[in-house]
Structure 1
Amino acid sequence: MNQLLFERSTGNIRPNVFAGLETTRVLSSFRPAPRFRFDGGGGGGASAPGDSREPEDGSVTGVTGEGSTSIWAHPAGVNALALERFDGRILVSGGADGAIKLWDLEQNPNPTPPHTYRAVSSIPRADADSKTAAAGHRFGVTHLSFYPFDSAAFLSCSYDQTLKLWSTEPTRVSGSFDLGAKVHTHAISPIASHLLVACGTQHPAVRLVDLRSSAAVQSLVSPGQIGGSAGAALAVAWSPVHEHVLAVGSADGAVRIWDVRRANGLVGLLDQEDSLGPLHPSRLPGSGSRASARAHAGPVNGLSWTDDGAYIISAGHDRRIRVWDAATGANTLANFGPAIRNSHAGSLTMFVSPLGLTPARKELLFFPNESEILVMDLHEGSIVTRLRGMGPMVAAIRARGGERTIKNRLTSIVWRGAGGGGSSSGPVMGGTNAAGGIYSGHMDGQIRAWLPQLEGQDDEDEDNATQEETETRARKRKALDNAFRSLMGQQITFT
Structure 2
Amino acid sequence: MLGFLTARQAGLDDPLRLRRAESTRRVLSLKLNPDRDVDRIHGNGINTIDIEAIEGRYMLSGGADGVIVVYDLENYSGKLQYTCKAVCTVGRSSKYVHKFSVETVQWYPYDTGMFVSSSFDKTMKVWDTETLKPAEVFQFEGNVYSHHLSPIARKHSLIAVGTKEPKIQLCDLKSGSRIHVLQGHRAEVLSVRWSPRYEHILATASADSKVKVWDVRRASGSLFTLDQHNGDKSKASSEAVNTAHDGRVNGLCFTGDGLYLLTTGTDDRMRLWNSATGENTLVNYGKVCNESRKRLQFTVSRGCSPEFVFVPCGSSVAVYGLHTGELVTMLRGHYNNVDCCEFHPDYQELYSGGKDCNILAWVPVIRASDVEEETKSANQAAAAADRSSANSAFQDAWSSDED
Give yes or no for TM over 0.5. yes
CA positional deviation for 1:173: 1.3
Percent sequence identity over aligned pairs = 38
Deviations 1:346-368 (A, max 9, x none): 111122211xx223xx2111112
Residues 134-213 of structure 1: pairs in structure 2 closer than 5 A: 135-193=96-154, 194-213=156-175
Question: Which structure 1 segments of 5+ residues have no match?
Answer: 40-71, 128-133, 277-289, 393-407, 419-434, 460-495
1:438 maps to what in 2?
A: 350
CA positional deviation for 1:16: 3.7
CA positional deviation for 1:442: 1.4
The answer to whether residue 367 in structure 2 is matched with residue 455 in structure 1 is yes
Are 1:34 and 1:448, in contact at CA under 8 Å, matched by a contact in 2? no
Residues 203-352 of structure 1: pairs in structure 2 closer than 5 A: 203-222=165-184, 225=185, 230-274=186-230, 292-338=241-287, 340-352=288-300
Larger helix fraction of residues:
2
Q: 1:174 to 1:302 in 2, by over 3 A?
A: same
Deviations 1:33-71 (A, max 9, x none): 1322233xxxxxxxxxxxxxxxxxxxxxxxxxxxxxxxx
Residue type matched to 2:85 in 1?
R
Residues 362-401 of structure 1: pairs in structure 2 closer than 5 A: 362-390=306-334, 392=335
- Taking the aligned partners of 1:170 and 1:34, their CA distance within structure 2 comes to 34
TM-score (norm 1): 0.69
Q: 1:151 to 1:11 in 2, by over 3 A?
A: closer
CA positional deviation for 1:22: 3.3
Residues 474-489 of structure 1: pairs in structure 2 closer than 5 A: none
Question: Which structure 2 segments of 5+ residues have no match?
Answer: 233-238, 372-403
Residue type matched to 1:231 in 2?
A
Q: 1:111 to 1:265 in 2, by over 3 A?
A: farther
Q: 1:126 to 1:264 in 2, by over 3 A?
A: farther
- Taking the aligned partners of 2:224 and 2:240, their CA distance within structure 1 comes to 9
Deviations 1:341-393 (A, max 9, x none): 11101111122211xx223xx21111121311111111110012211111x3x
Are 2:23 and 2:348, in contact at CA under 8 Å, matched by a contact in 1? no
Are 1:184 and 1:346, in contact at CA under 8 Å, matched by a contact in 2? yes
- Taking the aligned partners of 2:318 and 2:16, their CA distance within structure 1 comes to 27
Residue type matched to 1:345 in 2?
R
Deviations 1:308-361 (A, max 9, x none): 2111111111111111111211110000012x111101111122211xx223xx
CA positional deviation for 1:109: 2.9
Deviations 1:85-144 (A, max 9, x none): 11111111112111111111125332512x2333211112379xxxxxx61100010011
2:304 to 333, 358, 368: 358
Are 1:95 and 1:141, in contact at CA under 8 Å, matched by a contact in 2? yes
- Taking the aligned partners of 2:7 and 2:199, their CA distance within structure 1 comes to 43
- Taking the aligned partners of 2:138 and 2:175, their CA distance within structure 1 comes to 11
Residue type matched to 1:307 in 2?
G
Paired residues in the alignment total: 364
Residues 43-122 of structure 1: pairs in structure 2 closer than 5 A: 72-106=40-74, 108-113=76-81, 115-122=82-89
Residue type matched to 1:92 in 2?
L
- Taking the aligned partners of 1:84 and 1:369, their CA distance within structure 2 comes to 25
Q: 1:291 to 1:375 in 2, by over 3 A?
A: closer
Deviations 1:153-177 (A, max 9, x none): 0000000000000011232211111
Residue type matched to 1:109 in 2?
S
State the SS of the aligned residue for 1:331. coil
1:404 maps to what in 2?
A: none
How big is the alpha-carbon RMSD for the aligned residues of Structure 1 and Structure 2?
Answer: 2.5
Q: 1:368 to 1:108 in 2, by over 3 A?
A: farther
State the SS of the aligned residue for 2:159. strand
Residue type matched to 1:84 in 2?
E
Are 2:309 and 2:322, in contact at CA under 8 Å, matched by a contact in 1? yes
CA positional deviation for 1:291: 9.4
- Taking the aligned partners of 1:82 and 1:137, their CA distance within structure 2 comes to 18
